[in-house]
Amino acid sequence: MVVDKINVASPLCCVLPMYDSKHSSYVTEEDSDDLNHTTKHKRTNAMLSASAHDLRCLQVEKEKQDPESPRGALEACLNRCSISSSEDPPQNKEAIENADADVRCKNLRASSNWGKFFKLWKRRSMKRLSSFPPLSCAPVISKRNKNADPDVDDLNLHDIYDFQSSLHSFSITDLEIATDYFNPENIIGRGGYAEVYQGILPEGKLIAVKRLTKGTPDEQTAEFLSELGIIAHVDHPNTAKFIGCCTEDGMYLVFRLSPLGSLGSLLHGPSKDKLTWSRRYKVALGTADGLMYLHEGCQRRIIHRDIKADNILLTEDFQPQICDFGLAKWLPKQLTHHNVSKFEGTFGYFAPEYFMHGIVDEKTDVFSFGVLLLELITGHPALDESQQSLVLWAKPLLEKKDIKKLVDPSLGDEYDQDELNRLTSTASLCIEQSSLLRPRMSQ
């Protein structure tokens, strides 16, 4: 059963102190006590009236200033796209140097992908991008070495934005033919904002096409670019391989796919018998490696926020690949967590602190990973048809060490007892009520 993502406003209200400038001058000594009391009262009211939106705006601006963040990489490359789309080239050396400075992203891999993407995309999408809210990003300027050879610097820029990337710009016709005109029978996953279709290219390659289906054009554009900003920073055997996109008649992301499809479609479908115990164990280990990479192996920690069976693609040899970064958030090293004013994701996988308080950190993904382990062990979905939680059903059995009742009946006795004990112990730790008691993925 596939459960849609939800988008519910959080009851939490963040506060932001504000300064009332009306009494910042013309204060006599005798009025100071009354004025201090009045100012304090007004500040208190202002704190109560401020919203989480103000905090989010401040955080967005910080992300824009950081060239290593997904938003920062995106900002620099959007600036480059805007500059290169002008029909009239810069008329002087200073303008050329300023244009170059705007696009020096620190993350060279991300820059290469973005350069390729925007060169292929800009002619079709500039009109759509013009509807995106104005972007104001401080240029990523690095001091040039006056003695450096300018040809070397130019060569580096050329290499960064070379066309020899693997990204491909698909036409809407390509994707319609590949997915049988987005036949509902080819849907392999659904979320709050998108549907994922299985498709096949003329040369026989299988693809997964993520099609944004909800929201205004501006919201879809923001969602599209946000996910691309994350994907540009991700490169690991256990993350989905992004191969291209399309911006005709909508927003589409295209990933490599194997005939096995997603873990969810296999585990909860008619081909369940293909998932032997050894393959389930392999999926568990690979998913753990992928999450450890996102949390500790990237330049910026990435919190996926939607780990579930439908978001795990399987290769031909049952190697898991984490996909769908539409809800992912990057977490700078100076922050311990994010506080979000609304929660998004899939029922059955929510960590308690995320659901109740809007707290997002690595332990949010750890809880979801624990639910995924229970799915692999039991064969049950996170929520069954009667909306019963897998976690609530499994916890008493885990506490009693009644492991045999947890095992998927379709496996019979065909499983390794030591591996089963290891997975059940790990799952039990991952779904702890308190995030402090949950392990990190590297543990």
Q: Would the pLDDT of 58 be above 90?
A: no
The catalytic residues are 306
Return mean pLDDT, the chain. Answer: 74
3-state secondary structure of 377: helix
pLDDT at residue 334 above 80?
A: no
Per-residue pLDDT tens over the stretch 341-375: 677 888 899 999 988 888 899 999 999 999 999 99
Quick one: CATH architecture of 263-437?
Answer: Orthogonal Bundle (1.10)
Kindly state the average pLDDT of the residues 200-215.
Answer: 93
Structure tokens at 328: 């992912």
Tell me the two tokens of residue 375. 């799915």
Q: How far is Cα 36 from Cα 289, in angstroms, rounded to an integer?
A: 56
Q: Are 228 and 74 in contact (CB under 8 A)?
A: yes
Band (pLDDT 50/70/90 cuts) for residue 393 is: very high
Question: Alpha-carbon distance 114 to 296, whole Å?
Answer: 23
At 72 the pLDDT is 57
**Residues 138-190: tens digit of each pLDDT:** 333 333 344 443 333 333 333 333 333 557 899 999 999 999 999 999 998 88
pLDDT of residue 199: 96
pLDDT of residue 94: 53
pLDDT at 164 (0 to 100):
35
**Any known ligand binding at 210?**
yes
Domain range summary for the chain, segments of one domain joined by +:
263-437
**More confident: 67 or 228:** 228
Give the containing element (helix H, strand E) for 99: helix 93-102
